[in-house]
Amino acid sequence: MPGPPPAVAAVRVAVRQALTGGPLRAERVPPRPGPQPGAPLLLVACSGGADSLALAAGTAFVAPRLGWAAGAVVVDHGLQAGSAEVAEAAAARCRDLGLDPVEVVRVVVGASGAGPEGDARRARYAALASCADRVGARAVLLGHTLDDQAEQVLLGLVRGSGARSLAGMRTHRVVRGGAGDGAPHMLLVRPLLGVSRAQTAQACAELGLEPWQDPHNEDHRFTRVRARRGLADLERDLGPGVVAGLARTASLLQDDADALDTTAGTAYLALGPPPWAVTDLRQHPRAVRTRLWRRLALDAGSPGTDLTSDHLLAVDGLVTAWRGQGPLHLPGGVRASRTGERVAVRGPRS
């Protein structure tokens, strides 16, 4: 009996690998025939586009065979005319695939100064975390592909970012869904980081699924759209393989960034409670110190999406180039300052 078409098989294999490796490996229960009451639940974040729709189809096929229950959540950002109808259509496709429960969550995208893409992402993650917490899902699956990973690396190169940013997106990541200490945490899983955008489109075609074509994907106001066009130009001018090469770079840099993070974690414990002595800080290389500053800033309430390498290098200047300058102001009302031979990073209420 012939197997599924190659694109369909690629998506299913990727989902299977994500559900049997990493932190989800210990969560699943042994599969058994028929309905499985009480099986741990996964949610697919589905916009109705080709990537997330292919992921929804792959998860609907694979998850029950591995002892998981699978549902979906559709976030309506309300940023386009007819967005409610688009969200309901995506939810209907998920139900047709056998996913249950399927939730449609409407959000209001505020303006924080992070830009429309950043504001939409923040609202979306808060909605995903809240929904996962409400229905008891163990993880939320996202449809980011190999092409998305390459675009992330390209943008990091253009911005002059460090190794952690160039390492791209992780297959598994725990994030806090919103602002405040009470915001629910969620495990994000990206099964398709090794699957191309062309493969997800082909998988949908093979399965008879008609994905939604987001008009924002053609809008050059958005950075990701310009990055996508830039990658297409690079592929044309330099030859095929640019996307795969950038994604491979991300994978290699993840190992380097992880090693530096481990070293920084050891240094954090050895330094003890802040403020920290300048003489102790100088014993560590800058790559470790900037990770320490980032950790302190995040702990003090600075939003990670707004905290840049320029901010961290400025804080490091309190160790390497201090001439009596006053406090540095970081995103979220966080302040970094040096008093005598000690450096502190404090939140707005400290």
> Residue 49, annotated ligand binder?
yes
**Crossing angle of helices 223-238 and 242-271, rounded to 10°:** 130
Q: d(Cα 195, Cα 16) in Å, to the nearest integer?
A: 13
Q: Output Rg (C-alpha) for the chain, integer angstroms.
A: 22
Q: What is the DSSP letter of 73?
A: E
The tokens for 35 are 């309905």
CB 51 within 8 A of CB 215: no
> Residue 50, annotated ligand binder?
yes
Helices (H), the chain: 6-20, 50-62, 83-96, 116-135, 146-159, 163-166, 197-207, 223-238, 242-271, 278-281, 286-299, 309-320
The torsion of the CA quartet 255, 119, 11, 62, rounded to 10 degrees, works out to 100
> Residue 48, annotated ligand binder?
yes
CB 304 within 8 A of CB 298: yes
Which DSSP string do the residues of 230-281 spell out, in sequence order?
A: HHHHHHHHH-TTHHHHHHHHHHHHHHHHHHHHHHHHHHHHHH-SSSEEHHHH
Q: d(Cα 207, Cα 257) in Å, to the nearest integer?
A: 39
Q: d(Cα 104, Cα 10) in Å, to the nearest integer?
A: 28
CB 300 within 8 A of CB 331: no
> Residue 51, annotated ligand binder?
yes
- Give the residue numbers of the binding site for ATP: 47-52
Known binding site: residues? 47-52
